[in-house]
Amino acid sequence: MKVFAYGTLKTGYYNHYLLEDLDDVSFLGTGSTADRYPLVLGTKYQLPYLLDFKGKGYHVEGEIWEVPEEALPKLDKLEEHPTYYTRKQIPIVFKGSIVTCHAYILEKYQPEMINLPMLSSYTMEHHKNYVGPPARSKPQIKYDVKMKE
């Protein structure tokens, strides 16, 4: 199964170790979302969010990984799928073709998040302000995002 990593799962970023530790995982290359999406940084922890608002924002750049299906629960745990992020299949432009990849998208977000500055790519410059899970508490994340019903 193909996974599209646009944030902290990318090579060299905080949560990439999860992909490195999996068996039978391979890096296929880079691509971008076929549709435009808002990629924003949210909460005081500077988390990258791909908001479920197709058509707004940019064609987001990221990495494409081949991951065995049995490894998805490990990624789901990190992303708190399905209660926080939702793993959805989206079209990705890869080497001139469209491939379908799993991506972790924030479906339940406050409307004001759509007004945050949007990015086409989550870079190391953005990542330097990221606060990893050990340094934060989960209830604060959910409170800061103010999930909509």
CA angle 64-53-80, nearest 5°? 60
User: At 149, which amino acid appears?
Assistant: E
Cα distance from N-terminal residue to C-terminal residue, the chain: 30
Catalytically annotated residues: 79
Q: Which residue in 133, 126, 141, 134 sits closest to 12, CA to CA?
A: 126
User: At 34, which amino acid appears?
Assistant: A
